[in-house]
Structure 1
Amino acid sequence: MIRKIQLPLQTLNLVAGFMVWVLISSLMPFIKEDINIPADKLALVTAVPVILGSLLRIPLGYYANQFGARIIFILSFILLLFPVYYISIADSITDLLIGGLFLGLGGAVFSVGVTSLPKYYPKERHGFVNGIYGAGNLGTAITAFAAPVVATKFGWSLTVQIYLVLLGIFIAVNFFFGDKKEVKVQTPLLEQIKGVYKNEKLWLLSLFYFITFGSFVAFTIYLPNFLVAHFELDKVDAGLRTAGFIVLATAMRPIGGWLADRFHSLILLMFVFGVYTISAVILSLSPSITWYTFGCLSIALSAGIGNGVIFKLVPMYFQKQAGIVNGIVSAMGGLGGFFPPLILTLLFNITGHYAIGFMALSEVALASLILVVWMYFQGKMEIASQVIDHTIEGILVTDKSGKIISVNPAFTEITGYKEEEVTGKNPNILKSGKQTKGFYQDLWTSIEKNGFWQGEIWNCRKDGEEYLQWLTISAIKNDAGDVVQYAGMFSDISSHRVKKAK
């Protein structure tokens, strides 16, 4: 029973953590009425919670494997009690910066669930499961919508203190219903880092999540104050629109995971970054509220799908180091939410508009689209390479002049020749001398006429032993129909001939 409730329990934990994480940004229109915050410091105050919310994801992902999700969630919520109370009695920008920094722990708990939950499900469901868990992003929407409404009636300070009760409830719930018997992984942290930091896929996935989740966080903390200041919307109206952005992005996250379980994840990411590129261009044109809403919702749609897809790819590429990789990738996503509001504010102060910032997002999304296309075709090449390397048939490839340019391990196993010994040489070094000149003339005539030749042929190993091959030679042509290479695939059938003779 305890194992079955871990998905809903940990998803609700994430909801609670994210509700706390965005307290300052959601209440900023109210807070700045009581605390003097210079315009150029607003973005910093709202972005500060993202710092620890990003960096702590790495150790939390690791320790979730070491001690289990139950312990990490309980400790995290206990520690959050202190900054939440501190913020509720804040009376200066310094108090907000200090409290906001430690408030980031609410966002850091994300890496706990994505590390823990895949242990309970087969890998064919990891995309959907992590997508459901990631829907805990809804916590930001709840705070963005509810906190301004409550603050209108009771004030922002009391509103913040209500979250102390929320944290107390979740401490108790995890104590009684968290899984005490979760499978633990005891691989040392440095060993896990050494096993992944040189892998290019780790940094590519980090970049992609930097954009998808980073933009989700950035828009969440940037929209409430921006909509009030730029479009002169009512504070509650701005909160509702921000909540709409969050709800759409959150709803699309499990759908993105579900799609990734059924379709090629990289093709889905091509769609994601294509939409990003176009949407960011629309936002860079400083449109009306209608077009601005369209651009934001398009980004919410693609961000949600992208977030779900990326955490399908993590356990696919990193089965043994999922904890540390989840931490690194999710940390980069959090940092992706820290910098954009600061950059947008800086650019606005310099240029008087946000166009350059949104255009930069468009260019980064376009670069990511190109990288995803590269990963897709590289993956196809890796599969082809693995097939060649692991097939039991010997394979050699020559250029059109007949010089060997590549062989596989089975070639060495059958012939005794290493790749460096035959590269640049003609395949006639394998001749046994048993075939006549006419045999080879017929062989090449067949290749020129049909594009291939297939049959038995006697060849010679490196040690001089003669053996019978079953050989297929194919001409490889380009789009213009010109031969560019020849590929030979063969197997040793000497033993079959001996058995047949007996």
Structure 2
Amino acid sequence: MIRKMQLPLQTMNLVLGFMVWVIISALIPFMKEDIQIPAEKLAILTAIPVVLGSVLRIPFGYYANVFGARIVFSVSFVLLLFPVFYISAASTFTDLVIGGLFLGIGGAVFSVGVTSLPKYYPKERHGLVNGVYGIGNLGTAITTFAAPVIATQVGWSLTVKLYLVLLLIFIALNILFGDRKEVKVKTPIMDEIKAVYKSDKLWLFSLFYFLTFGSFVAFTVYLPNFLVSHFALEKVDAGMRTAGFIALATFMRPVGGWLGDKFKPLILLMGIFLGLTLSGILLAFSPSIGLYTVGSLTIAVCAGLGNGVIFKLVPQYFNKQAGTVNGIVSMMGGLGGFFPPLMLSMIYSMTGQYSIGFMALSQVALASLILVIWMYYQDRLVMSSKVFRYTGQGILVTDSKGRIRSVNPAFTKLTGYAEDEVVGHKPSILKSGRQSKPFYEEMWRTIRETGQWQGEIWNRRKNGEEYLEFLTINAVKDDSGEVVHYVGLFSDISIS
């Protein structure tokens, strides 16, 4: 029963963490009435929780493996009680900075669930599970839209204090219903970092999440003001459209995870980044409200799907270091939610439009598309290499003239010849002398006519021992139909 409760419990934990994370940015208009906040420092005030909430995701992901989600969530919410109460009594800009610094804990809890929840489900469901957990992103939307409404009735200070009640409730829920028997992984954090930091896939996943989550946050931040200023929409209409964008992107996240379970995730990412590329180009040309809506909703779909697919890939490639890698990737996503809005604001202040920003989005998405294609074919090459190296059958590859270019370890085990002893020689080095010349002439005639030959043949090991093998030879041709390689696969049947 406790195990089945972890997905809904941890998802609601994330909702609450994200609700607390954005308290200041949601209530700044009300706080400014009582606290003097310099206009040039508004960006700093809203950025502090985002940056710390991103950086802390690395240790939070690691400690979720060491102590379990129950402990990390409970401790996190206990710690959040102090900055939330401090902010509710704030009277200066410095108070808000200090309180906002520790609100980052609310954003950092994201890496706890993506590390813990896959332990409860088979690999083929990890994408869907992490996608459902990602719905907790709605916490930012809940605070953004609900906190101001409440503040107009009871004031911003009391509104902030209401979060204390929620935190106390969830501390109790985690203590009572958190899993005390969660599987723990206790590897020193520096050992995990050393094991993964050189991996190109770690940094590629970080880039991809930086782009997908960054796109989601950037549009969430800038859409309300842009729709009012550029298309002269009413504030309520702009807010509803932005809410639609947030909801669509958020609910696409579990869909992306589910699709990642059913299909090849890298193929899905190709489609996602192609969609982001085309949408960025479309928006860069400042289209009508209709086309602008199409472009924005396409970005919502692609960003949401991408967020879900990426966290399907992490445990697939980093099973033993999932906690640390989840922390690093989600940290980069959090930073991706910080920098694009600043970049859009800076570009708009310099040029009076967002076109350059949208074109930059399309180019980064295009670069990501190329990198995903490269990853896909690299994976195929690695797989082919592993099959070649670890298969139990002996394999030798020759050029079109019949000279050996490569052999696998099974070849060495079966024949006694090391690779450097046979490369450059012809397979005749293995001849036993039992087959006649017409036998080999007939074998090669068949290969030239059909591209394949198989049958039994006697060969000799390095130590002189003769053995009977079952041999298959295939001709490998290029696009023009010319033979470029011959591949021989054989197994010893003299002892069977």
TM-score for both structures, normalised by structure 1: 0.92
Distance 1:126 1:110 in 2: 16
Residue equivalent to 1:464:
464
Summarize the Cα distance change of 1:8–1:241 in structure 2 as closer, same or farther, 3 Å threshold: same
Residue equivalent to 2:110:
110
Matching residue's letter, 1:138: L
Residue equivalent to 2:172:
172
CA contact (8 A) 2:217 2:341 kept: no
- Number of residues paired by the alignment? 496
Deviations 1:216-265 (A, max 9, x none): 23333444455556556555544433322221111111111111111111
Distance 2:30 2:293 in 1: 23
Residue equivalent to 1:220:
220
Summarize the Cα distance change of 1:72–1:86 in structure 2 as closer, same or farther, 3 Å threshold: same
Deviations 1:180-237 (A, max 9, x none): 2222111221222222222222221111111112222333344445555655655554
Residue equivalent to 2:302:
302
Residue equivalent to 1:260:
260
Query: 1:405-420 maps to which residues of 2 (within 5 A)?
Result: 405-420=405-420
Summarize the Cα distance change of 1:367–1:296 in structure 2 as closer, same or farther, 3 Å threshold: same
Residue equivalent to 1:141:
141
Moved more, 320-329 or 55-64: 320-329
3-state DSSP of counterpart to 1:495:
coil
Deviations 1:356-379 (A, max 9, x none): 222111111111111112222222
Q: State the 1:9 CA deviation.
A: 0.7
Distance 1:298 1:34 in 2: 41
Moved more, 417-426 or 262-271: 417-426
Q: State the 1:290 CA deviation.
A: 4.1
Q: State the 1:444 CA deviation.
A: 1.6
Moved more, 486-495 or 192-201: 192-201
Note the aligned Cα RMSD (angstroms).
Answer: 2.3
Matching residue's letter, 2:393: E
Runs of 4+ residues over 6 Å off in structure 1 = none
3-state DSSP of counterpart to 1:484:
strand
TM-score for both structures, normalised by structure 2: 0.93
Distance 2:171 2:430 in 1: 73
Deviations 1:123-149 (A, max 9, x none): 222111111111111112212222232
Moved more, 112-121 or 221-230: 221-230
3-state DSSP of counterpart to 2:337:
helix
Q: State the 1:4 CA deviation.
A: 1.8
Residue equivalent to 1:500:
none
Return 5+ residue gaps in structure 2 as ranges.
none
Moved more, 163-172 or 336-345: 163-172
Q: State the 1:411 CA deviation.
A: 0.7
Distance 2:409 2:152 in 1: 72
Matching residue's letter, 1:364: V
Distance 1:232 1:39 in 2: 25
1:198 maps to 2:198 = yes
Residue equivalent to 1:396:
396
Deviations 1:315-337 (A, max 9, x none): 11111111111111111111111
Distance 1:223 1:88 in 2: 29
Residue equivalent to 1:447:
447
Residue equivalent to 1:473:
473
Distance 1:262 1:449 in 2: 41
Q: State the 1:296 CA deviation.
A: 2.5
Q: State the 1:30 CA deviation.
A: 4.5
1:62 maps to 2:62 = yes
Moved more, 253-262 or 460-469: 460-469
Residue equivalent to 2:12:
12
Residue equivalent to 1:98:
98
Distance 2:334 2:232 in 1: 29
Return 5+ residue gaps in structure 1 as ranges.
497-502
Q: State the 1:302 CA deviation.
A: 1.2
1:341 maps to 2:331 = no
CA contact (8 A) 1:137 1:246 kept: no
Distance 2:226 2:164 in 1: 28
Matching residue's letter, 2:121: Y
CA contact (8 A) 1:22 1:221 kept: no
Distance 1:357 1:102 in 2: 31
1:131 maps to 2:131 = yes
Moved more, 79-88 or 358-367: 79-88
Distance 1:288 1:78 in 2: 49
3-state DSSP of counterpart to 2:167:
helix
Moved more, 78-87 or 208-217: 78-87
Q: State the 1:102 CA deviation.
A: 2.1
Deviations 1:407-455 (A, max 9, x none): 1111111111122222222222222233333322222211111112222
Residue equivalent to 1:430:
430
Distance 1:233 1:92 in 2: 35
Matching residue's letter, 2:470: W
Q: State the 1:18 CA deviation.
A: 0.9
Deviations 1:382-411 (A, max 9, x none): 222222222211111111122222111111
Distance 2:157 2:355 in 1: 35
Distance 2:204 2:87 in 1: 37
Matching residue's letter, 1:380: R
Summarize the Cα distance change of 1:237–1:255 in structure 2 as closer, same or farther, 3 Å threshold: same
Summarize the Cα distance change of 1:255–1:47 in structure 2 as closer, same or farther, 3 Å threshold: same
Q: State the 1:286 CA deviation.
A: 3.2
Q: State the 1:154 CA deviation.
A: 3.6
Deviations 1:436-490 (A, max 9, x none): 3332222221111111222222222122222222211111111221111111111
Residue equivalent to 1:329:
329
Summarize the Cα distance change of 1:159–1:286 in structure 2 as closer, same or farther, 3 Å threshold: farther
Residue equivalent to 1:499:
none
3-state DSSP of counterpart to 2:338:
helix
